[in-house]
Chain A
Amino acid sequence: MKKRYILLIVFVALIVLGSVINFSKPVLPAISLPGECYPGTATGNPYFPCVTNTLVTTFVAFFIVTIMVLALRAKSRTADEVPTGFYNLFEFVIESAYKYATGLAGSKKARNFFPLFMTLILYILVANWIELVPGVDSVGFYEWIPHFEAEKAGQGAEKLAEEQGIHLSEEELHEIEAKQVIITDLENKGALRSDPFLLKSPDNAVEGDVDESDSRAGLDPDNADWTVVAFLRAPATDLNFTLAMALVTMFLVQFYGFKYLGVGYLKKFFPTDSNVDAMAKNPIKGIDWAVGILELVGEFARILSFSFRLLGNIFAGQILLFVMATLVPALSVAFFGLEFFVGLIQAVVFGLLALMFMNGATEQHGDGDHHD
């Protein structure tokens, strides 16, 4: 049989197997907007609190892109006349992107704009597609939810006990943490509250401390569920990553604006051409100043827009994948396909918008640029 048919059969068999084998309830991975810290990497520095799983994946994506590009470059030195395989595909991508950039900005400007354009596309594409690799977002530290939530809220029973100078055994700690969760069902996971009175042993409890009618009293600690904190998490789910990309892009937009137009770049925002004499001839020109202020605000809004577009798409996609894989494992393949396209389109859109803003910043005023 041809190799591709064997691969197809193996692929379909793996999908069917993956959706059928479901011996116990799948674990919902931990969902949190900030990146989750690796334990034991906390530094005192407030600007770099700890090593997060998103940071690690950022470097993984970086190494993947670098190695891929260097390998392809080495191959280009010794290639045949007719390229084949992945090298062919990559050449097609680069050439069509370069053709698009020259079509938009002209060949001289495109030489300057193309590196950032292509880097953004490649890096963000790899960062988005890493989320689909089996093992990313699903393999990690296996945490017991009450303990995990307590540590996250900074109110772990161990820490509180230390603060109050009480020594408790492992079972007592677990019991307290279980009671701190209101409802132990996975769907109705409640927020955590610390109750210092629970740390007092029955011996030194004061009358009226523990309210026996409290519905949380007596919850079974063994019934609480578990969660997984991933080792690797898609970088774009972290606002730090997307904000960094957006800041770099907008900085370069301003840089190219000054480089091509000099100080005249500021005339976009403060149109000194529409001074009193021009306004005397044509009063409508007075509106140029308002437009300039709006453009200035728009430059900052673009940073937010860039970062939140990418963050929202990938973070919501990640939550969608988690929930679908937990609820309906058999159908989750369709959502992986959706995430594939979302990752691709968001990477391309990020690069395209960067290119268009760079082009718009370097055009003379009145050339008819109406982007965004």
Chain B
Amino acid sequence: MDLAAAEALVIGLKAIGAGLAMIGVIGAGAGIGILVGGAVQGIARNPDASGNIQTNMILGIAFAEAVAIYALVVALIILFVL
């Protein structure tokens, strides 16, 4: 096939690759939801500890989100560097 069609194919495949790479963020969404659910229950049981719980919740969310960010970085590398 001529060069233009081949290069259009490459662009299309890159897009599919980036889309597939982002499927992994489902785990992060589920994880953060469970985390915040636990935190909210903890606050409901013991409102005085809400500052402490909130701090630890934000920390845990950062960890869980980091994994989603790894997937995003891979997708961006596929799109813009490869």
Q: Residues of A with Cβ closer than 8 Å to B? A: 31-33, 100, 182-183, 188, 190-191, 193, 195, 211, 213-216, 305, 308-309, 311-313, 315-316, 319, 345-346, 348-349, 352-353, 356, 372
Contacts and interface: CB of A to CB of B under 8 A. Distances in A.
Given A182-B4, A188-B11, A215-B4, A372 B70 contact: no
Contacts, number: 68
Q: Which size class do B's interface residues fall under?
A: 20 to 34
A352 B72 CA distance: 23
Contacts of B5: 215
Contacts of B8: 182-183, 190
B62 interface: yes
Contacts of A211: 2
Contacts of B62: 309, 345-346, 349, 353
A214 B1 CA distance: 10
Interface in B2-42: 2-5, 7-8, 10-11
B58 A214 contact: no
A315 B63 CA distance: 17
Given A312-B66, A353-B59, 16 more contacts: A32-B80, A33-B80, A33-B81, A182-B8, A190-B7, A305-B66, A308-B66, A312-B73, A315-B76, A316-B72, A316-B73, A319-B76, A345-B58, A346-B62, A349-B62, A353-B62
A32 B81 CA distance: 7
B59 A349 contact: yes
Given A309-B69, A313-B69, A193 B7 contact: yes
B49 interface: no
B20 to A, nearest CB: 17
A315 B80 CA distance: 12
Nearest to A188: B11
Contacts of A33: 76-77, 80-81
The 8 residue pairs across chains A and B that have the minimum distance between CB atoms:
A312-B69, A349-B62, A309-B66, A215-B4, A312-B73, A182-B7, A216-B4, A182-B4
A100 B70 CA distance: 29
Contacts of A312: 66, 69-70, 72-73
Contacts of A313: 65, 69
A191 B58 contact: no
A191 B70 contact: no
A193 B3 contact: yes
A188 B4 CA distance: 12
A182 B11 CA distance: 11
Contacts of A349: 58-59, 62
A356 B59 CA distance: 11
Contacts of A216: 3-4
Contact of A308 (B10, B59, B70, B81): B70
Nearest to B5: A215
Nearest to B66: A309
A256 B11 CA distance: 49
A153 B7 CA distance: 15
Contacts of A372: 63
A83 to B, nearest CB: 24
Contacts of B80: 31-33
Nearest to B70: A308
Contacts of B3: 193, 195, 214, 216
B69 A308 contact: yes
Contacts of A214: 2-4
A303 to B, nearest CB: 13
